[in-house]
A and B are shown apart, each in its own frame.
Chain A
């Protein structure tokens, strides 16, 4: 099987120095791959690079991101825009700022269906109604006529998930999609993403700082520090039997309610120093 997303030797830099260092990873069809690490690890930068929305201050210095045999990095902007939302979609972190506050949910959800999938207004509305049903929104007719601020955070995130899956993309990038949600809502939303992803056979690149969340939803994990891949493997393997000292340190710092007696240990300073040295200071 060939990968849906194939990142090869990707390096990127800002004025302050390298932000990605020779990153290689593949996401297969129907597979959920986690990008985990602390802030500054480069996980969001990788997600942005795949979506072609890197900030102007960050330049790619080497490598490529291959999607269906094409290097996305050398694709003209116009062709990239044609892929976004259609074959490569995003579930953003913050449902608050990711919907247009001045347009009704129905109008926002039918945009892609009309302009990209070529449905007429009536069919697009009917499809949007079905999509809201897929993400278990009650009273979908009513919700379509509402503005974002009239919905709860969990509802808004469901709308964004419906939108991401609406054009049956090959791959979805989910950037901390449940970080802003309460735990009970988070669990429902994770279940939703996992079920839709399985039903559609979508490849999922899932950015998260939460090892508990990725354990329940991802097949494989890539652990990053300072823009470099430290470890990659199946979720069970990486979490039960981590190969890298940094992964072990992350697990040791992570509080678990079922292990209250265990002392929480920060990542040791000498390990950080060693990782920084390997990354050239």
Chain B
């Protein structure tokens, strides 16, 4: 397994609770979460808003330090690794964000954004490297001199993907990366992701609220609710015979594009 989470718990200070003296009350964001992701595998992390799926994604990248439990990357324990020890691992794990509009610096050209991401890890990328990188995500070389606002939402998301794969990572966390896109653009981005997965043997954590998309792209799924994994398994099995009534309710709540007079009543 490339990534393994063992009984991870995440507590954060409760900012809504004001205590004059003593310790600030803590909120448990994630409870006893265990999962594994192998190379070339896509794990769907599914849940409604507030379920902890984004926090889990960030913790898998060690952007949050777990309060309890263990986090393993490629066999080594990174649960409490210091930043300087984390740094060489950082280029092997990357994130694609939900909203490329706010995760790309509006004042830097696409070329500067991509070369900056590589320079962070001591790699000077020439024009040829950057052009090849853009071509891989289906963008023309002319995009190098463009700024984020000059691109469409789908093109910006491709830049976000290019930035994530620039360092040929082994593990990528993709957080709701197609949720703001039109279905046609969504289909293109999912196709791109599928291609990259097989090309690089990526381990992918695909965070999404959209079970229809998850059904199409994920090998396995974990269903989250209130910070806990309430069900996990092969995607096909979960859709065919969900064990938890909550999972069943999530599936039943997806409207299909054909009129079903009974659906709204159910």
B257 and A257 form a contact (CB under 8 A): no
Contacts of A216 in B (CB 8 A): 255, 259-260, 263-264
Residues of A in contact (CB 8 Å), total 37
Q: Which of A48-56, A89-97, A107-115, A247-255 lies at the interface with chain B?
A: A247-255
Query: Complex: how many Å from CA A232 to CA B256?
Result: 20
Query: Complex Cα distance A236/B261, Å?
Result: 11
For B27, list chain A residues within 8 Å (CB).
none
A260: B residues at CB distance < 8 A: 215-216, 235-236, 239
How far apart sit A39 and B186, CA to CA, in the bound complex (Å)? 12
Query: Which of B81-89, B108-116, B177-185 lies at the binding interface?
Result: B177-185
How many residues on B have C-beta within 8 angstroms of the other chain's C-beta atoms? 36
The interface residues of chain B lying within 8 Å CB-to-CB of A255 are: 183, 186-187, 190, 210, 212-213, 215-216
Scan residues 220-259 of chain A and give those whose CB is less than 8 A from a CB of chain B. Answer: 235-236, 239-240, 249-251, 253-258
Residues of B245-266 whose CB lies within 8 A of A: 249-251, 253-260, 263-265
User: A173-214 CB contact bits vs B (8 Å, 1 = yes)?
Assistant: 000000000111011001100100000000000000111110
Asked if A266 is an interface residue, CB under 8 A from chain B, the answer is yes
**Interface residues of B, dominant DSSP:** helix
Contacts of A251 in B (CB 8 A): 257
| B260 / chain A contacts, CB cutoff of 8 Å | 215-216
Pair A250/B250 contact, Cβ less than 8 Å:
no
Contacts of B244 in A (CB 8 A): none
A73 at the interface (CB under 8 A from B): no
Is A217 in contact with chain B by the CB < 8 A criterion?
yes
Chain A residues near B (Cβ < 8 Å): 38-39, 153, 182-184, 186-187, 190-191, 194, 209-213, 215-217, 235-236, 239-240, 249-251, 253-258, 260, 264-267
